[in-house]
Chains A and B, each alone.
Chain A
């Protein structure tokens, strides 16, 4: 069939204009510079990206505060040419260590303010976990001047004004104070702008970390206040509350007739208690956020765990290695024990960095860990080894 002609300029000119496109392009090519264009790493956007997300950070311990033999604060500065990555108050650093031939990682919330990162300082505070592998190692081995390695700051436990209420009720226990200390400091130095009311649970006054500083910020900054909630005391100490952080206590200090958010960071027992208390307040889910805390030992009591030693074949860039894993440890633990370098950040199943393909074998994913895999990942056999337990021999492709 013949098509009716539709002239744009005129029949002759139209066809000619098409033919001219080739010389038009070649002319532009000929007139272009013959030197390679700017290295993309020099665009400001790319430089900011590199500054915010370095692949690794080499840090030097410049100060250690011994709060007790079981709790220490470490202050780092940068070595080399790459300044400390900026972060958001509430984010964490994942450290990578070599201990007895294992390559292990652990996450620690940054306790310092983002502003101090610009001045070349990060602070973390590590508390000993009784039968833990790494916290004790850090507390007993890290010395002044040591060089350690971390990844870039990560984490979504941050204040976001578009999403959160203007007032945050922060519920802290134990070392869970660290992200809130960062937030309080950031409010104090003007980096963050929201109201933070901290309910800080501890057994007694001696267990409270950073009390002087928290009190001082609360004194001078109207946007921050702190209430200590002590469980192991006979009578209610002055200016403190006695007992556990409960719905009733939250209500007592929360704003009236105004929405508020609840952020929680602390030990598992506290989470278990608050998971029952908070719903009674009738807040929308969007106003309640729990920080991650890794995979807990109580998981080991769950039915899905199948104790035993299994064969684990690891595929890494086409190379296969054989090692073992254990039904009572996460697959990530087994990989780290075998000194396999796996990309890791949160160790809580959330960030997806450890995403790997389960080529064969069976696994157990505890219900206590929310399954944060992408829909398609679950369908195509991918797992997050940091929160997954083997229940048979497995073959896993990590890279």
Chain B
């Protein structure tokens, strides 16, 4: 038995790094433990030949280069590491393409509200009015959320403000993107353009909560998106750097096997070599699925918490192809930063298709050099393609023996689709290739079933359900969670923010304890 800490944070992913840094900033004796040999979780990079590949980030919202406002920017500034990263603005929003519809679409849009609307109007005269309405709703939602976040107490004035300014936000909370589109009479081309980012949340538009989508859209398009220089690994390193500077202790290559829970109170952790470490509070960035199924004895978990966990579904599995190309993006005709290539415009059908890996239902592909021209040596470029799989069918029959062939087969489909959709010929330029399949995510992040999106943000587990019920029910005490599985759902920006929330809860608890002594 060694030292005792105020708090132990399990996992140095986006949520864990943020939580740990915030704890250290508040003067708490903090231990951050990570099973891998480097920080970041999914927010990492790897080197092959003369290329350094981004492992996961497509573009980061919450830093807001256009409007200059962003919740994540505030967070990083509060933590004191914002300036340790060089942020590069992404000026193009996306190019979205369908491949197998009777009438395929192909739209390329810039970031910035006015520029976006103007371009949409070019594609579909009349789009302006519809998109303005949708963005106006997104603004109202953002205002509503920040109003609720800052509310101190309810009185006649606050109730009046709610009824005057935030009623649309409250009224719309239960509806899906398609329900809102239907009610507003949004024409199909405007839906295709406005909802192009839907695959980032892995839920089709019949299921995806409008608030969830609209806030994300707003922060990408209206506030603006960025990419960190040196890949997302730079953010991870900068957070860790700040954490250690604040006196925090970080252990790597340290796999937490058990969380010690006695009388439904978390007391510490046990590492795989048997090392026991105690703390007054534990924050898990490790997935709650893993925590509640293999890190804590079932008998120590309150019934509500087990049931709550069981009333969630693991979200989509991830798959990615990383290509180092021996020609520049200009030579190859890679004219866009971010490509969405969907089988068809019907998102429900795309979701259905993505239950197997026979075809590629969708891909989100990034040419990093379009944002950071010198991210690879002169005359070369980096392209990474991501796809997702719903349900349990795809990759179910994978074996160690057929694994490489299967992942290569799917990579070939994605490369062919990309060439067909964009007209760019990339195959002969492939100098380096790495393929990440669900097995890879299971390996690097201990992801249950290879999911990259935590719990599915649908049904009664939408982001709004999560936020409304997060404080309810009987749960293990002194054990907090952060990361993409928790209340804010997946995504870089939200997972950093959940780290702040978990840390704030822990600080509140520890200070109350301190005061009562």
A residues near B (Cβ < 8 Å) are 1-3, 5-9, 11, 14-15, 17-18, 20-22, 24-41, 43-46, 48-49, 51-53, 85-86, 88, 118, 156, 160-163, 284-286, 317-318, 343, 350, 352-353, 355, 372-377, 379-380, 382, 399
Q: Closest approach, in angstroms, between the C-beta of B232 and any C-beta of chain A?
A: 9
Which residues on A sit within 8 Å (CB–CB) of B473? 29
Instruction: Show 6 A/B contacts (Cβ-Cβ < 8 Å), sorted by A.
Output: A8-B180, A22-B469, A29-B308, A40-B294, A48-B399, A48-B439
- The reply to whether B432 and A163 form a contact with Cβ atoms under 8 Å apart is yes
Q: How far is the CB of A327 from chain B (nearest CB, A)?
A: 26
A3-B294 contact given A52-B439, A162-B433, CB 8 Å threshold = no
User: Are B400 and A48 within 8 A (Cβ)?
Assistant: yes
Question: Is B251's CB within 8 Å of the partner chain A?
Answer: yes
**B395 contacts A45, CB within 8 Å?**
yes
A sample of 13 more A-B contacts (CB under 8 A), given A375-B45, A375-B229, is: A3-B168, A14-B172, A14-B174, A18-B464, A25-B311, A25-B465, A35-B298, A40-B449, A52-B400, A160-B408, A163-B431, A317-B251, A317-B254
Give chain A nearest CB distance to B203 CB in angstroms: 16
By the criterion CB–CB under 8 Å, are A52 and B249 in contact? no
Please choose the segment from B19-27, B299-307, B489-497 that sits at the chain A interface, where 4 or more of its residues have CB less than 8 A away. B299-307
Q: Is B355 an interface residue (CB 8 A)?
A: no
In the assembled complex, which residues on chain A have CB atoms less than 8 Å from the CB atom of B231? Answer: 374-376
Task: Select from chain B the residue with minimum beta-carbon distance to A160.
Answer: B433
| Most chain B C-beta atoms within 10 Å of own C-beta, residue among A2, A20, A25, A355 | A25
Across the interface, A29 reaches (CB within 8 A) one of B133, B179, B311, namely: B311
Contact B468 A22, beta carbon cutoff 8 Å: yes
| Chain A positions within 8 Å of B2 at CB level | 318
Q: A352-B46, A375-B52, A376-B233 are in contact. Are A37 and B309 (CB under 8 A)?
A: yes
Contacts of A353 in B (CB 8 A): 37
B167 located at the interface, meaning its Cβ lies under 8 Å from any Cβ of chain A in the complex: yes
Task: Say yes or no: A48 contacts B173, CB within 8 Å.
Answer: no
The 4 nearest A-B residue pairs measured at CB: A286-B431, A40-B448, A14-B171, A49-B442
Stretch at the interface among B147-155, B217-225, B285-293, B339-347: B285-293
| Contact B408–A161 (Cβ < 8 Å) | yes
Residues of A near B412 (CB, < 8 A) are: 162
Asked if A36 and B298 make an inter-chain contact with CB atoms under 8 angstroms apart, the answer reads yes
Most buried by B among A44, A355, A399: A44
Nearest-neighbour CB distance to chain A for B269, whole angstroms, equals 13
Q: A6 is contacted by which of B137, B306, B398, B415 (Cβ under 8 Å)? A: B137
Complex interface bits, B454-475 against A, C-beta within 8 A gives 1, otherwise 0 = 0000011100110011001100
Contact of B241 among A39, A372, A380 (CB under 8 A): A380
Tell me if B234 counts as interface (CB < 8 A to partner A). yes
Q: Which chain A positions have C-beta within 8 A of B167?
A: 3, 5, 15
B171–A45 contact, CB under 8 A? no
Does B184 touch A at the CB level, under 8 Å?
yes
Inter-chain CA distance A162–B443, complex, in Å, is 23
> Are B439 and A40 in touch, CB under 8 angstroms?
no
Q: What residue of chain A has the Cβ atom nearest to residue B84's Cβ?
A: A380
B140 contacts the other chain (CB 8 A): yes
Contact indicator B433/A45 (Cβ below 8 Å)? no
Min CB distance A240 to B, Å, is 33
B183 within 8 Å of A by Cβ? yes
Report the Cα distance A379→B317, complex, angstroms: 33
Tell me which residues from 390 to 434 in chain B have a Cβ below 8 Å from any Cβ of chain A.
Answer: 395-401, 403-404, 408, 411-412, 415, 427, 429-433
Contact at B442–A355, with CB atoms within 8 Å? no
Residues of chain A within 8 A (CB-CB) of B411 are: 162
Interchain pairs with CB closer than 8 A, number: 237
Q: Which residues of B from 144 to 167 have beta carbons under 8 Å from A? A: 164-167
Q: Is B188 an interface residue (CB 8 A)?
A: no
Q: Chain B CB within 10 Å — which of A5, A33, A49, A284 has the most?
A: A49
Interface size classification for chain B: 35 or more
Instruction: Say whether A377 contacts B233, CB under 8 Å.
Output: yes
* Closest chain A residue to B44, Cβ basis: A374
**Residue from A9, A18, A28, A34 within 8 A of B303 (CB atoms):** A34
Would you call B170 and A31 a contact (CB within 8 A)? no
Query: In the complex, what's the smallest C-beta–C-beta distance from A91 to chain B, in angstroms?
Result: 11
Whole-angstrom distance between the alpha carbons of A18 and B211 in the complex? Answer: 12
Q: In the complex, how many angstroms separate the beta carbon of A158 from the nearest chain B beta carbon?
A: 9
A317 / chain B contacts, CB cutoff of 8 Å: 251, 254, 275
In the complex, are the beta carbons of B52 and A374 less than 8 A apart? yes
Expressed in whole angstroms, the Cα–Cα distance for A230 and B450 within the complex equals 50
A32 contacts B175, C-beta separation under 8 Å: no
Which has the most chain B C-beta neighbours within 10 Å: A40, A85, A353, A355? A40
**Given A3-B164, A26-B469, A317-B251, residue A49 in contact with residue B171 (CB < 8 A):** no
Residue from B237, B432, B439, B468 within 8 A of A379 (CB atoms): B237
Given A17-B175, A46-B450, A49-B443, residue A36 in contact with residue B47 (CB < 8 A):
no
Given the known interface contacts A25-B468, A29-B304, A156-B48, the answer about A39 and B293 at a Cβ–Cβ threshold of 8 Å is yes
- A318 in contact with B184 (CB, 8 Å): no
Selected from A28, A36, A46, the residue in CB contact (under 8 A) with B311 is A28
B443 contacts A44, C-beta separation under 8 Å = no
Complex: chain B residue closest to A9, CB-CB: B183
Contact of A355 among B38, B397, B429 (CB under 8 A): B38
Determine if B448 and A43 form an interchain contact, defined as CB atoms under 8 angstroms apart: yes
Residue in B closest to A4 when the chains form the complex, CB atoms: B168
Nearest A residue to B466 via CB reads A25
Within 8 Å by CB of B164, from A2, A17, A373, lies A2
Contact, CB under 8 Å: A7 / B183: yes
